[in-house]
Structure 1
Amino acid sequence: MKIIALVRFADGAPVDWAGLAAATTGGGPPPRMLRVIESPVGSAYRPPSDPDPMSNSALYDAAAIWDDAAGVPDFTAVSGADCLHAWQVEPTERFRRARQGAEDEAITLLGRLMFHADLPDPAAKRCWAHHTALAEKVHVGASRYIQNWITRAITPDCPPVRGLPELRFPDRKALIEGFFDSDRGRDEVVHDTSHFVASGPRLFLAAPTLREWSGEA
């Protein structure tokens, strides 16, 4: 099963990377651990459902993604967490393409989306799946697009969320230059997603530096 956790730590507390890794249960592989960064594209992407994108980096400090968890993570291993939201998801990979031979996915755009309340699950899934063709055409710098449908909240007090899309880029240059193929493409994405996305912040994630990993930053 796939688990996605978003964590904010208390003011002044370092990210407990070791605790996030130790949360793995059942002998499965450790999670991909990512830090939340400020938007590399600034306010160039400001859909109506996310009117203040520059503030989103303050919502969380880190993300942990178990792509193939053997069991539900034990988050009691994580110290200093002020807020921890985790969900089990059903992932669907919509496209994957090589970018100049790069295998690494350096930056991930992760959405925490709530779809329109009047859309039942089957209709929301259809709208989201239909968005794939446009996303592949417009997000020319992206190497991978995964739609993660929420199946259940694992931790208490999770905000209302129905989807956690991952749009991965091989490097910062690919993101900045290829987030959209054009202004028209950006407008098409904003228009299309407005039909099914009601609200939700978009977060940018990157691997922690050695200094951050050691708690020095």
Structure 2
Amino acid sequence: MPIISFLRVRKDRDASEFHDWLLARIKAIFENEAARPRYCVLSLDEPVPSGLSLPPAMRLDASNSVPWPPYDAAILHTDNWSAAFPTGLDEWADLEHTYRVTRKIIKDDGNVVDGMPSTGIKYLRGLIFHKDLPESAIRRSWARHAPLAVDVHEGASRYVQWWVEEHLSANAPKIGGIAELHFATASALAERFFDSPRGMKEIAHDLGHFVAGGPPRLFARDYVFGSYTD
């Protein structure tokens, strides 16, 4: 079962240098055939695309977001990678939120090309669900939300729902899922995140039925190592 870690760089370190260090460290791990895991997807923070507009309920600084600085990177990897996970991380990052997850691919039109780096921009957002909803209702609500998301987020080439099965960091926010939207180009994200003002309102309204909020979004570029088939 995959594991994903969200990382935040320390205030006394430079984020771009952290990106370079992390990318070089993971490349070195995959050059070691004896310790090489099956896969790793490294997502490095990118600026929010110019022109992207979110409704108040979905904005980065909305009151329903946990008030800490945005993440600077995320690492998705196989669950047997503990021995090879980058050492020295505590010298760069002051926060690591880690979860065991399973994925459900809702849409993949093939226009995102995985590589180093992959094409396009990925959007990740952890979701905190309403506490008064049983898990069955949450799963049903998110499943019913999927067709609307596919229609409204018309510029997205890949849409994945990640279900959080286990919290592996004691201090991590209690998210229950992670939404992934991957756009083949930055312009597809900026210009076609919503199909229309009406669609934007429909998405915000529907999410309100089961999503209470979550930590800040991560807009990132992927670097895909190995064969990711989980």
| TM-score, structure 2 normalization | 0.77
- CA–CA distance in structure 1, aligned partners of residues 76 and 212 of structure 2: 24
Deviations 1:141-191 (A, max 9, x none): 101111001011223311111111111110101111211111111111001
- Gap regions ≥5 residues in structure 1: 209-217
Classify the secondary structure of the residue corresponding to 2:178: coil
**Structure 2 equivalent of residue 44 of structure 1:** 53
Distance 1:21-1:120 versus aligned 2 partners, 3 A rule: farther
1:62 pairs, out of 56, 65, 73, with: 73
Q: Which amino acid in structure 1 is aligned with residue 69 of structure 2?
A: A
Report the AA paired with residue 117 of structure 1: K
Runs of 4+ in 1 over 4 A off after TM superposition: 19-26, 53-57
SS in 1 for 2:201: helix
User: Could you tell me which of 38, 43, 56 is aligned with 1:34?
Assistant: 43
Paired residues, what number? 204
Larger RCO, structures 1/2 (Cα 8 Å, 6+ apart): 2
Q: CA deviation at 1:65?
A: 1.6
SS of aligned partner of 1:48: helix
- The within-5 A match list for 1:86-101 is 86-99=98-111
How far the C-alpha of 1:43 sits from its partner, in A, is 6.4
Residues 42 and 198 (structure 1), Cα distance of their counterparts in 2 relative to 1, 3 Å cut: farther
Task: Quote the sequence identity (%).
Answer: 34
Q: Gaps spanning 5+ residues in structure 2: where?
A: 224-230
**Cα distance 1:93–1:114, how it changes in 2: closer, same or farther (>3 A)?**
same
1: CA distance, partners of 2:192 / 2:7: 28
In the alignment, what sits opposite 1:122?
136
Measured after TM superposition, the shift of residue 202 of structure 1 is: 2.3
CA distance in 2, matches of 1:42, 1:197: 25
What amino acid is the match of 1:60?
Y
Candidates 120, 123, 139, aligned match of 2:153: 139
Matched position secondary structure for 1:31 = strand
Q: 1:207 to 1:149 in 2, by over 3 A?
A: closer
